[in-house]
Chain A
Amino acid sequence: MLELVKNPNFDFIGFRKIALWASLTVIVLTMLILALRGGPRYGIDFTGGAAITFSFQQEVSAEEVRQALAAAGEKSYEVTHFGDKRHVLVRLKVLDTTRDYLTPIQQQFDQRFQGNTYTVDQNDLVGPKIGTELREKALLALLFSWIGIIIYISIRFEAESFLGVLGTLVFGLIVLSISQAKAVLSSDILTLLLMAGSLAVMAYICVKFNFKYAVGAIAALIHDVFFTLGLLTLMNVEVDLTIIAALLTIVGYSLNDTIVLFDRVREEYPKERKHLPMDTIINNCVNHVLSRTIITAGTTLLAVIVLLFFGGEVIRPFALAMTIGIIVGTYSSIYISAPVLIYWQEKFGKGQELAGKKVQA
């Protein structure tokens, strides 16, 4: 039998204070970076505008392309290479979507890059209205995935908190109806307020109904999303729809990891709680699922890294976000969700059974 770690017995939970502080520091730093940069670097999906990718036969300098764009009458543009110097991404501010921006640019290119043929690989145009809508939808999507997860986890792990589930459901419906009323949601600030308000209400529901498992899981998810977003901002990666998709997938993956651990906790806690303190039991659980954690994270990471290296330019940002997310998600299931579970139980869970009522599995 080939084994990665024989009878692991690492003191993961013993490091939880350090880890918690480290995570908090990183999150605060991330928020600072985001604030300083005025939010993540949004792609045209969220800002509106045009993005055109050209593939040239021979290398071109960004400067030449800029000159051509200026000559074509563009005022606000951004030129970046990706992959190599033959591929150019041009971003334009396009407020009037009836404007034909491509033809003048192509005329300039034809003139300036004679003998260096090129193709237009991608030409995306997002009107300002759609951009705003997509941004709102993305935020709401994150919010709804969180709500859905709270509901699922509380049904699964904390069946006695029926009222809590009901509360979350009603809350989700309210958010849904507000989001549907487009007039209310016309600005970003309102969307953010809605997000903040939702988090507050969610926190209240969690305290009120003592959703310890849900709190642990949600804390890990929020951690993962902010961490990944911050790192991407630091790396100057554009946030577009595929990044949002990656973030949601990370949420799913991270939760997966957390649930495997929590399932183990729920199974072992009732057996051991008479003779062992809670943190030791949870630490044992982490060790029990350790080889599974390593193997799953390893194989998933392998698959995503392959995508990062061989998947091509289009999918690279997605693969990058996933790579970060899987590492962070694995870390957070051990160092965020489990410590939060312990903390919550110590603070709010006086006299209550940690494992809750066992649900028929």
Chain B
Amino acid sequence: MTKNIRFRLIVVLAILIGTLYYLYPTIYLISLSPQKKEMMALSDPQRLEDLEKRSIKLGLDLQGGMHMVLELDKSKINMNGSEAKDAIDRALEIIRTRVDQFGVSEPLIQKAGDERIVVELAGIVDTSRARALVQQSAYLEFKLVKPQAEFLQVLRQADEVVRENNLYVLSDRTPAGQAQPAVGEAKDKSFNPSDLFNKNTSSDTSAQAPDSTAAKSDSSAAAADTSSESLLPGETAAADARQAPVSHLFASVPMRGAGQQPEGELLVPVNNIPLIKAYLAKPQVWQTVQNAEVAGSIDFTRYKSSGEDPEPDTLDVEWGDDATDYVGPDGTQYKRIFLMKKKPEMTGQFLADASATLGSGNDVETANKPLVLMTLTSAGADSFEVITERFLQRDLAIVLDNIVKFAPRIISRIPDGHAQITGVPTMDKARDLSIVLRAGALPAPLTLAESRTVGPSLGADSIQKGQFSAIVALIIVALFMLVYYRFSGMVANLALVFNMVMILAVLAGFNATLTLPGIAGLILTIGMAVDANVLIFERIREELRTGKSMRAAIDTGYERAFSTILDSNLTTFITAIVLFQFGTGPIKGFSVTLSIGLAANMFTAVYFTRVIFDLWTARKSVKSISI
């Protein structure tokens, strides 16, 4: 008997510990002040992201945001089944690219059926931008990439601007006149610059080939500086943040492959992205980058067969689309970043078709490797011939709506409008790329079928009111149980609190979303959760009335009430499943919370309270319980 109790006690404790483990990230995040959170977003976004991933997600109705359903308008285009499928894939690609620019940390973009796309953006409530998301036709451009050496030089200029104007992003928060702001901040646990730089350093050493690109290049003094500096231990790296605030955030390139010129892409560890964006957002820095005069740069006047007037061009920084394209040996993820001409060399309208295939023939470089075949219109073929001739050995970025999808090198002049893109790592990537290229050739026939936005203040208000209601309901119900059942009521209340905590932990553990109806479900669970215990207690009272002993009454009470409790939970569960099946967003959240509540209820009200009762009555001194 005691052994049995011990086992059950262990089960209860294990679940309690598991519950607390899954709730910890949520509690930690709530305890962070907004300033500390912001600081963390800049200094250690990886950790923040990790914490957020593991804590309870709030639905759009609670944090504010936008839910959209986009629909492929089949009436506007004539197409059969497979073409429609292709159209939705292209539309999806365009939407993904555009949503990327909203800067939402975890946007949800998914196909729903064959003709709908669901997009959810937390924190964004701008409906006009949402309209632009679907109404603009896709903008595909081919832009000339600046060589990496020149990019590094531009970054050095940016460093200078930051130093001269004291535009440091992180030190903005420290009191003026502090000699080493970074060190001062290092005391703060939530932000530790040397952590950041250490990470940076290790990835540099490992990911970077020893004969780095930069070291070879003529104008690479700055690059050599940065890379050697970032090899230094963390403490001096903090000082580098003062010396080379912008450029030290970049990691230089792994070589592209044998036989190719080591010139090309700059990488950024994903952790540094927010900092770089913060620097680039400073007007002075941005202007420097945009209008950089780079020594030894090629003539950037437009070169077209039509011979139009040369015009001055500004530069632009564009990001690659995939953070997981490059993963360092230590697991650090890198995102590509490019400096390129703002004006495109060519746009998507000159593109006729694109497809993915495997290379064949005897060419060792391409045989059995994924390829993308690109066909241009006749007008496009002419300009492309000029471009490929003029910019041989340069990188031409394929940019969809301001995101660099791929930046192949021009390795030969292409006269006939049939181009081959090689060096695509996988067949899937090749397929994606062909979708991107075709997306640019056709406007996306999408319409906005549904959009729901909730302002952040309303969301905050809902959370606050929901929390308040839950606490009030909990207190009232708990008080009643305590007065009515006394000791047993207290046990039921313990179970009730355990139940609430468990629901929240499961929500966090399964990455489910808490919505406003979800909070309502939680409150409803408070009301219903006591039902199981009431059933049991009333049954025990009945048995006691018939003159049974305390032990026997408890045993019979639990036994008799169990099937009823199971029944009522299962039937409510049926309605919850139906709700989940047909419901959207918040309603789904409600049914999820309700279902978890029912399951938790079975454990806390039946198992947990029984363990407590058995523990209590196992003591010899106890002859009766108050119920």
Give me the interface of A with B, judged by CB distance under 8 Å.
1-2, 4, 53, 55, 97-98, 100, 102-103, 119-127, 129-130, 134, 137-138, 140-141, 144-145, 148-149, 152-153, 156, 241-242, 244-245, 248-249, 251-253, 255-256, 259-260, 263, 267, 288-289, 291-292, 295-296, 298-304, 306-307, 310-312, 314-315, 318-319, 322, 361
Q: CA A124 – CA B66 in complex, angstroms?
A: 9
Known: A122-B453, A148-B578, A310-B468. A304 touches B563 (CB 8 A): no
Known: A121-B457, A127-B450, A296-B528. A252 touches B574 (CB 8 A): yes
Question: Using an 8 Å CB-CB cutoff, how does the interface string of B433-455 with A read, 1 for contact, 0 for none?
Answer: 00000000000000111111111
Q: A137 to chain B: which residues have CB within 8 Å?
A: 582
| B583 and A245 contact, CB distance less than 8 A | yes
| B451 and A125 contact, CB distance less than 8 A | yes
Q: CA A298 – CA B528 in complex, angstroms?
A: 10
The residue that B458 contacts in the complex, of A140, A256, A314, with Cβ under 8 A, is A314
Q: B560 to chain A: which residues have CB within 8 Å?
A: 267
Q: How far is the CB of A342 from chain B (nearest CB, A)?
A: 21
| B449 and A253 contact, CB distance less than 8 A | no
Q: List 6 A-B contacts (CB under 8 A).
A: A156-B567, A245-B583, A303-B476, A306-B469, A315-B517, A315-B520
| B563 and A263 contact, CB distance less than 8 A | yes
Q: B584 to chain A: which residues have CB within 8 Å?
A: 134, 241
Q: B61 to chain A: which residues have CB within 8 Å?
A: 314
Question: Using an 8 Å CB-CB cutoff, how does the interface string of B261-274 with A read, 1 for contact, 0 for none?
Answer: 00000000000000
| B530 and A296 contact, CB distance less than 8 A | yes
Q: A291 to chain B: which residues have CB within 8 Å?
A: 538
Q: B135 to chain A: which residues have CB within 8 Å?
A: 98
| B520 and A318 contact, CB distance less than 8 A | yes
Question: Which chain B residues in 55-74 approach chain A with CB under 8 Å?
Answer: 61, 69, 71
Q: A1 to chain B: which residues have CB within 8 Å?
A: 541, 626-627
The residue in chain A whose Cβ has the minimal distance to the Cβ of B452 is: A124
Give me the interface of B with A, judged by CB distance under 8 Å.
61, 69, 71, 125, 127-128, 131, 135, 447-455, 457-458, 461-462, 465-466, 468-469, 472-473, 476-477, 480-481, 483-486, 516-517, 519-520, 523-524, 526-528, 530-531, 534-535, 538, 541-542, 560, 562-564, 567-568, 570-572, 574-579, 581-584, 586-587, 590-591, 594, 626-627
The residue in chain B whose Cβ has the minimal distance to the Cβ of A251 is: B575
| B450 and A296 contact, CB distance less than 8 A | no
Q: How far is the CB of B100 from chain A (nearest CB, A)?
A: 23
| B575 and A145 contact, CB distance less than 8 A | yes
Q: B564 to chain A: which residues have CB within 8 Å?
A: 259-260, 263
The residue that B448 contacts in the complex, of A98, A241, A256, A306, with Cβ under 8 A, is A98
The residue in chain A whose Cβ has the minimal distance to the Cβ of B481 is: A299
The residue that B473 contacts in the complex, of A4, A102, A307, with Cβ under 8 A, is A307
Known: A103-B128, A141-B582. A315 touches B524 (CB 8 A): no
| A259 and B567 contact, CB distance less than 8 A | yes
| B466 and A311 contact, CB distance less than 8 A | yes
Q: How far is the CB of A142 from chain B (nearest CB, A)?
A: 8
The residue that B575 contacts in the complex, of A248, A259, A301, with Cβ under 8 A, is A248
Known: A120-B455, A249-B575, A319-B520. A127 touches B627 (CB 8 A): no
Q: B542 to chain A: which residues have CB within 8 Å?
A: 288
Given A144-B581, A241-B583, A249-B524, 16 more pairs with CB closer than 8 A? A2-B484, A53-B458, A98-B131, A98-B135, A121-B458, A122-B454, A123-B451, A125-B448, A144-B578, A295-B530, A295-B538, A298-B480, A299-B477, A302-B473, A302-B480, A318-B520
The residue that B469 contacts in the complex, of A130, A144, A311, with Cβ under 8 A, is A311
Q: B575 to chain A: which residues have CB within 8 Å?
A: 145, 148-149, 248-249, 251-252, 255
Known: A98-B447, A300-B524. A145 touches B574 (CB 8 A): yes
Q: A303 to chain B: which residues have CB within 8 Å?
A: 473, 476-477, 523-524, 526-527
Q: A300 to chain B: which residues have CB within 8 Å?
A: 524, 527-528, 531
